[in-house]
Amino acid sequence: MAIWNICCSEKKRVSNRVVIDHIGTSGHGISNISHDSLSVPFTLPGEVAIVALRGKYGKLIALEKKSSERIDAICQHFENCGGCVLQHWHADAYRSWKRQLVINALKRYGIDVFVSPLIEGGYQNRRRITLTALATQKGHIVGFNRYLSHDVIALEECPVTRLEIMSKLNSIKLLCALVGNHTKRFQVTVTSVENGLDVAFNGCVVRDEHIRQQMIHTALAYGMTRLSVEGEILVEREKPLVYFGDVCVEFPAGGFLQATFEAENIMGNIILAYLEKAKNAVDLFSGLGTFTLRMAKKMNVHAVENNETALANLDRAARFATGLKTVTCERRDLFRRPLSAKELSCFECVVFDPPRAGAQEQVRELAKTTIPRVVTISCNPVTFARDLSLLVAGGYTIEKIIPIDQFLWSPHVEIVALLSKRKIKANWKL
């Protein structure tokens, strides 16, 4: 058992016996001790564990009793890597727990509705990862952070990451070794795009022209689409491209994509099916046009986004694409200056996919409207439930809530909610 590199002296020093009650929102086993909750990673409900106490955490040393739902993890790095926390749990129990995360968050805001079964996300489909590179006396380590630590594990495999990325891992390590001659610790973000890999280094400076040329040569030799350091493009074999539906968009360095294409496509299909009769839509927090460009095949869409580069790329893609309805773009900070109810009133439907913090002020304005159909998307059950409660208070009816396992074996979940409004609810306040 590779639990946080437990040393013999610690095993002798501590021997706390706890019973795991349930899995908490962080994916850790929770044990209730003297009215306090102890969080014990890599345990399951019903298990009896020997742990070392570290504040509110219990560091697993051994299991006296194992759950019948415990299975073997499929990755050699599990329990060391900071990515997955639930590979050891049977799929049915895991899926039920992840769906329950959404149910519980909604109930805390007084929303008691049916939540659809979790849509599975699948393996080896994460199309973007951020690796940490660390220079040590023994050489360079490239991988993910060790669990609950700033240490780095040397990555050899990852069952959630796309093969297009993992197959180039050695070439990425070569690039890191070149950069690491000048920087002790830095990050490299690798994104799988339609025409290769976009590789971006951050937290480092490479001024040596010889090193820069070596990096360029390595990137070209291994077929990388683009290589950048701190936003500066060192080499671009061709523009990195992504497709939203059948519309091609240039992917900017540091741009946002849904974690997996599969989940993105599922969400896109849900949106199109629900809004199929609409003629005029607004897409808030549109990004590069993940949903805007799919929707524009059937309706006019007004895209609102604060990131200038993303919006410019969306606009350019829409202008050069064929078969689209009218797409208009507006740069706007929706946190500081949300669209008012009056501004929203000309649209038949709204789609919004805000950051994890949600869109409370924008939702307050939306709730005042009579727009008949709304789709909201979130990867944070807490802010999702909060925003949904404001829409319900404003007279919206929840038609369907669909959780999607875009973040396999993690405590994160993508959620889509479909809402409708048939009349204004009188005498309500936000």
Residues in the annotated binding site for S-adenosyl-L-methionine? 258, 285, 305, 353
- The rounded distance, in Å, linking the Cα atoms of 159 and 147 is 17
- The rounded distance, in Å, linking the Cα atoms of 381 and 414 is 8
Per-residue DSSP letter, 234:
E
Is 274 strand, coil or helix?
Answer: helix
**Residue at 367: amino acid letter:** A
Structure tokens at 387: 């925003």
Check: CB of residue 76 under 8 Å from CB of residue 84.
no
- The rounded distance, in Å, linking the Cα atoms of 370 and 349 is 10
Structure tokens at 229: 């350091």
**Which residues are annotated as catalytic?**
379
Residue 188, C-beta contacts closer than 8 angstroms, at least 6 positions apart: 130, 131, 133, 142, 172, 175, 176, 199, 200, 201, 202
Only one residue has tokens 């410019």, namely 312
What helix, strand, coil percent values describe the chain, rounded to 5?
25, 30, 45
- The rounded distance, in Å, linking the Cα atoms of 320 and 246 is 12
Structure tokens at 231: 């936003």
Side-chain-facing half-sphere of 424: CA atoms under 13 Å = 9
Our CA angle for 57, 58, 64, nearest 5°, is 160
- Is 4 exposed, middle or buried (CB count within 10 Å of its CB: 0-12, 13-18, 19+)? buried
**Residue at 382: amino acid letter:** V
